[in-house]
Amino acid sequence: MDELGWDSCDIIIVTGDAYVDHPSFGMAVIGRFLEAQGYRVGIISQPDWRSADAFTTLGKPNLFFGVTAGNMDSMINRYTADRRMRSDDAYTPGGEGGQRPDRSVIVYSQRCREAYKECPIVIGGIEASLRRIAQYDYWDDEVRRSVLIDSGADVLLYGNAERAMAEVAACFANGKTKHDLRDVRGLTLVLDDVPPQWIEVDSTRIDWPGRIDQIPDPYQFNKAETTDASTADSTTIASSEQASPVRIIPMPLSTKELGKLGSTEQVYVRLPSYEKVKSDAVLYAHASRVLHQESNPHNARVLVQKHGTKEIWVTRPPIPLSTEEMDAVFDLPYQRVPHPSYGDQAIPAYDMIKTSVNIMRGCFGGCTFCSITEHEGRVIQSRSEESILREVEAIRDKVPGFTGSISDLGGPTANMYKLNCKDDVTQANCRRLSCVYPTICKNLETNHAPTTQLYRKARAIPGIKRILIASGLRYDLAVLDQEYVKELVTHHVGGYLKIAPEHSEDHTLSKMMKPGMGSYYEFKRLFDKYSKQAGKQQYLIPYFIAAHPGCTDEDMLNLAIWLKKNKFRVDQVQTFYPSPMALATAMYHSGRNPLKKLNYKRGERVFAARDLDQRRRQKAFLRYHDEKNWGYLRESLVRMKRQDLIGDGDNHLVPHEGVKRIGRGSKHLKPARGSQWSSRPSGKRKK
């Protein structure tokens, strides 16, 4: 600040990550964006949260504090799916763990308030974004309030927030208050009351009253003792034909019904209150369903949820950035390296992405376990070819130690670049949760030619020896464009390609909103074909999830059998992690399926492995080849009456007790020392 001649900062960003001036780090994007708007921006990175002292380092900001937990949710960053504390942190110098608090947004906001009581606080990033309304918290195993209330902040920005941030900064710079931000898209406020002249769509209940049943006269029994039956019947109160049902606006509204109410700008949807969803898991699933249906920025409505006497006011989702606007954000003068104060300390997350290029934002896949859609939206926002190629050249020229290899051209998904809805009117009225499930929408552009062309131009840049694709591939889309698959397999696979079938069983895949294995087999056929044509030995690395809602032990057993049949010994596996706001998390918490209309009596039930032992057992099936899991699996197979899968043959899943592995495959099994079992053709024990 002294060198720049600043006596103060206009905006100070507090972040839970180390400061890396790279467009893959949120604080750098927002910081550079605000700087380009003419504001003086300071960054306080990973402050000591045990007192307010570290939060006064740059003085009081003239406009507001911007608080973010960083690129990851702080709880997911700090804890495993088994709720065990992690020992490392990829976003910290040296990978050292423990440099950020639990629920960082709340703690940092409280310290900012303690440091400068009257200073406005704006929270954002993925941790705030996914907690904008009442949300199930896996670590507390209960529904928590909106983080806006718990943090005491003034404004919450959700999603990629460049537009909203510009409007918020201008509002405070012009001497206005947070109450002037009520109509800004992509933010959340706490209000005392909803504004007048708005139309409310009441979605606080599931089972609405319709036809009212005949109500018996409570005195009918006594009257029947002194009168005849006809007299008794005549005293019955309010027959069903006479009753007038309560008129409730249906949810969700059709386009025609919405038109009767006027513009969506004057309509809001009232969700069940925090107190209701906290005590009623089915209502929680209903609120989650409504929120996801109101995610299209072209037809979504404001959401309102009462917390005690306060109203949480969630404005409509932000309008996606145009290609020109995306280019402007990524063309800002990033230094592309960590802050010099870290010296030679390595920051693992930076090392992983320092030679990667983000070519787009958003994801229309709608996978229920993933939070990308809830944060970045379903509309794909793509950069121009020219902007991407300029960044490749910048990496070549600026990144220390660059060897000529670009580690990724991708984003949330590798192959959704410039894939958007073909029809603007259809997109404006669409409320589908996914463009590719249960089938690929006929209105979705699936031509991968822009991506193929981009790959060719990028690898033709002087000084670029190799370009790899490390982002996850949506293979059900890829198989629709064989030229793209050929280009990818021939030039951009470094021996291994990551894909994510997630499971083999349709029963479980339907709860994930993932395609069946038919698309996988077709992609594998093309992958093997073009690898052979290129004269390369290349392999697919599939990712799978254990303990996803809807997945039973039988489903995991079938997956393990599929893995062995296809000769997969997967090492990188994960147990389902109930992240805030995800639809799968609503399934996990409620035991219901929010992908369908919810009903207390008839709604679809969903099994969820909630017990820690259940979750570990399901994960053990994914690593059936790991000797550490054999005991677990034997117990499970006996319980499931599948002892036929215990033995040393090719058709067995795990060996008998007392066997250890000396190599790979069943032929490398031998009796452990002191064992009473020996390998015989019959596989029987002997004494």
Q: Domains of the chain, with CATH numbers? A: 11-200+250-314 (no CATH), 355-623 (3.80.30.20)
Q: Do 109 and 153 form a contact (C-beta atoms < 8 A)?
A: yes
pLDDT of residue 663: 53
DSSP 663: S
Q: Do 377 and 320 form a contact (C-beta atoms < 8 A)?
A: yes
pLDDT of residue 208: 54
- Determine phi and psi for 60, rounding to 5 degrees: -85, 130
Kindly tell me the burial class for residue 139, based on how many C-beta atoms sit within 10 Å of its own C-beta (0-12, 13-18, 19 or more): middle
Kindly tell me the burial class for residue 443, based on how many C-beta atoms sit within 10 Å of its own C-beta (0-12, 13-18, 19 or more): middle
CA dist., res. 560 & res. 272, Å (int): 41
Q: How do residues 175-209 score in pLDDT, each as one tens digit?
A: 999 999 999 999 999 999 999 889 999 999 886 54
**Strand, helix or coil for residue 544:** strand
Structure tokens at 488: 């990818």
* CA quadruple 32, 19, 85, 53: dihedral sign: negative
**Concatenated DSSP letters of 487-540:** HHHHHS-SSEEEEEEE-S-HHHHHHHT---HHHHHHHHHHHHHHHHHTT---EE
Q: Do 33 and 26 form a contact (C-beta atoms < 8 A)?
A: no
CA dist., res. 294 & res. 271, Å (int): 11
- Determine phi and psi for 523, rounding to 5 degrees: -65, -40
Determine what percent of the chain falls in helix, strand and coil, rounding each to the nearest 5: 35, 15, 50
CA dist., res. 15 & res. 105, Å (int): 9
CA dist., res. 549 & res. 212, Å (int): 37
Residue whose entry in the numeric block shows the structure tokens 């809805």? 421
Sorted by sequence, the CB contacts under 8 Å of residue 189 that are 6+ apart come out as: 148, 155, 156, 178, 179, 181, 182, 312, 313, 315
Tell if the pTM clears 0.75, that is, is over it: yes
Maximum distance among all Cα pairs of the chain, rounded to whole angstroms: 104
Sorted by sequence, the CB contacts under 8 Å of residue 614 that are 6+ apart come out as: 547, 553
Which region holds residue 366: left if phi is over 0, alpha if psi is between -120 and 50, else beta? left
Q: What is the mean pLDDT of each run of 10 residues along the chain (687 residues)?
A: 95 98 96 97 98 97 98 96 95 96 98 97 97 97 98 96 96 95 96 92 76 45 40 36 37 53 75 97 96 94 97 96 96 95 96 96 95 90 98 94 95 96 94 94 97 97 96 95 98 92 95 95 97 95 94 96 92 90 97 93 92 93 93 93 92 84 49 35 37
The half-sphere exposure of 510 on its side-chain side, counting CA atoms within 13 A, is 11
Q: Do 365 and 474 form a contact (C-beta atoms < 8 A)?
A: yes
CA dist., res. 313 & res. 182, Å (int): 8
